[in-house]
């Protein structure tokens, strides 16, 4: 079934098709449509889930933790300040190994108040133990929501799916809504590996002394790394059912490319347009879209970028004092992988707080990196007013 829906509603449809059981949520712009739609679905009985109208994002995540601990499939959604407020419970959900799925609509953090897109909110949660999947369009949003539950429940780790504020959340696109039966065959009912069970009582999360803490964190890290193998397998199943495949990363026209852009989210679509245009002019340019930020697909990126002489990372985020976060991650991943021919590696900061990233912005970046001006820093700010 094809429907023209906004990105937020694509999330809601994914949640519904996943037969989510408990949805604690608190409203924040620009996430609101997700929970409004889910609330409607629950109220109508279309989605037989418990919708808990919590009093804060902190409680939203805490309630999701509780629901997941009791064996239910739990979902919530938030943005920016809300995500920051959840921070403590993000660690809790991950280390307690709850396969919660959450949508984060990327929005800049205040102050000053800003409701527009910016990845710093989700990237700030880098070390919480959550998997992070960034989406480029509404179809991917819907598909990723369903895939995220499969992945989370296989690994006992929570998954955050990330979409740009407004450019996706409030933008309508035609989306293929898969049949419920198809989704059911892909994502069966959750079978919790650990849960609160009166017939088999256990205490969870009790004090762990230095003797065992490190081992438990090893397991969490290990589960993250296993996602690198598992994710492509799951997506392959989805491909077989729907014909759609995204990959942890997606190289686009990188064959023989001499300049490769690294993009995430909706910037990717803009960049595809620029790449196509410049390719038509015979330029050897391509891009690699990063969908999966955690775990970071180090090997896949090394393979995709092998022999590429010029790399330009476009970051719609900033880690103050260092630079773009994807740039840092990628540079660290590539270190020593091709020691004979270290590429030119420029990091560009663009579009913070929702500033528009246009084909012109991308073209400027390509021109800049191709000019050979090596700044060798991951923080070349693009378009800052004098």
Task: List residues binding other proteins (CB under 8 A).
Answer: 21-22, 24, 48-50, 52-56, 58-60, 62-72, 74, 88-89, 92, 95-97, 156, 194, 196-198, 201-209, 212, 215-216, 218-220, 223
DSSP secondary-structure letter at 189?
A: P
Nearer of residues 201 and 243 to other proteins, judged by Cβ: 201
Q: Is 106 helix (H, G, I), strand (E, B) or coil?
A: strand
Nearer of residues 22 and 249 to other proteins, judged by Cβ: 22
Token pair, residue 163, equals 């979409």
Nearer of residues 215 and 340 to other proteins, judged by Cβ: 215
Distance of closest approach, residue 45 Cβ to other proteins, in angstroms: 14
Q: Report the distance separating Cα 159 and Cα 132, nearest Å.
A: 6
Nearer of residues 153 and 379 to other proteins, judged by Cβ: 153
The pairing of beta strand 249-252 with beta strand 285-290: antiparallel
User: 104, 110, 140: which is closest to 125 by C-alpha?
Assistant: 104
Distance of closest approach, residue 350 Cβ to other proteins, in angstroms: 36
Nearer of residues 75 and 166 to other proteins, judged by Cβ: 75
Contacts of 192 (CB under 8 A, 6+ apart): 68, 71
Nearer of residues 91 and 279 to other proteins, judged by Cβ: 91
Distance of closest approach, residue 35 Cβ to other proteins, in angstroms: 15
Distance of closest approach, residue 189 Cβ to other proteins, in angstroms: 11
Q: Are 275 and 230 in contact (CB under 8 A)?
A: no
Distance of closest approach, residue 248 Cβ to other proteins, in angstroms: 23
Distance of closest approach, residue 300 Cβ to other proteins, in angstroms: 22
Q: Are 96 and 227 in contact (CB under 8 A)?
A: no
Per-position b or e across 112-133, b if 16+ CB within 10 A of its CB: eebbbbbbbbbbbbeebbbbbb
């Amino acid at each position: 079934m094809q429907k023209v829906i906004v990105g937020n509603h694509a999330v809601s449809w994914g949640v519904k098709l996943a037969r989510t059981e408990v949805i604690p949520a608190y409203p924040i712009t620009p996430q609101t449509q997700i929970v409004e739609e889910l609330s409607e679905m629950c109220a109508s009985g279309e989605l037989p889930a418990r919708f808990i109208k919590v009093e804060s994002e902190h409680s939203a995540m805490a309630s999701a933790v509780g629901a997941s601990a009791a064996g239910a499939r739990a979902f919530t959604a938030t943005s920016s300040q809300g995500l920051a407020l959840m921070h403590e419970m993000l660690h809790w959900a991950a280390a307690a190994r709850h396969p919660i799925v959450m949508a984060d609509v990327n929005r800049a953090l205040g102050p000053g108040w800003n409701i527009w897109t910016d990845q710093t909110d989700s990237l700030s949660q880098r070390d919480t133990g959550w998997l992070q999947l960034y989406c480029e369009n509404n179809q991917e949003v819907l598909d990723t929501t369903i895939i995220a539950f499969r992945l989370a429940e296989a690994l006992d780790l929570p998954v955050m799916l990330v979409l740009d504020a407004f450019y996706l959340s409030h933008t309508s696109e035609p989306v293929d809504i898969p049949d419920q039966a198809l989704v059911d065959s892909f994502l069966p009912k959750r079978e919790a590996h650990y849960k609160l069970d009166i017939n088999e009582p256990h205490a969870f999360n009790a004090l762990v002394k230095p003797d065992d803490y490190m081992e438990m964190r090893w397991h969490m890290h290990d589960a993250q790394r296993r996602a690198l193998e598992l994710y492509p397998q799951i997506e392959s199943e989805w491909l077989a059912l729907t014909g759609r495949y995204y990959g942890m990363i997606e190289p686009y026209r990188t064959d023989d490319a001499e300049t490769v852009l690294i993009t995430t989210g909706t910037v990717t679509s803009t960049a595809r347009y620029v790449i196509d245009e410049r390719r038509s002019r015979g330029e050897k340019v391509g891009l690699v879209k990063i969908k999966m930020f955690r775990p970071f697909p180090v090997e896949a990126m090394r393979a995709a970028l092998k022999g590429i002489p010029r790399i330009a990372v476009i970051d719609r985020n900033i880690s103050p004092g260092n630079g773009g976060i994807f740039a840092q991650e990628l540079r660290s991943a590539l270190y020593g992988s091709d020691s004979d021919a270290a590429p030119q590696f420029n990091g560009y900061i663009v579009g913070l707080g929702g500033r528009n990233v246009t084909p012109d912005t991308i073209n400027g970046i390509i021109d800049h990196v191709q000019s050979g001006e090596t700044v060798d820093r991951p923080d070349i700010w693009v378009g800052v007013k004098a």
